[in-house]
Amino acid sequence: MKKRICSALLFIFMPLFILLFSFQINVFNIKYFLKEYEKYNISQETHMNMEELEKTTVALMKYLAGVTKELKYSEKYSNNDIIHLKDVRVLFQRGIFLEGLSLFILLWTRYFLRKKDKKLLRDTVKVSSAFSIILLLLLIILSIYDFNRYFTYFHLILFDNDYWLLDPKTDLLIRMFPESFFIDIFRRIGILFIAILSIILIYEIKNERAGD
Residue 142 binned pLDDT confidence (cut-offs 50, 70, 90): confident
Identify the pLDDT of residue 212. 59
Q: What is the mean pLDDT of residues 47-57?
A: 96
Q: Report the range of poorest mean pLDDT among 4-8, 129-133, 144-148.
A: 144-148
- What range does the domain containing 55 cover? 2-210
Identify the pLDDT of residue 2. 84
Q: State the pTM of this model.
A: 0.92
Q: State the DSSP string of 157-179.
A: HH-SSSTT---TTT-HHHHHS-H
Cα gap 45→51, rounded to integer Å: 15
Structural domain count, the chain: 1
Give Cβ neighbours of residue 124 (< 8 Å, ≥ 6 apart).
Answer: 7, 10, 11, 113
Q: List pLDDT tens digits, range 78-122.
A: 999 999 999 999 999 999 999 999 999 999 999 999 898 889 999
Q: List pLDDT tens digits, range 164-187.
A: 999 999 999 999 999 999 999 999
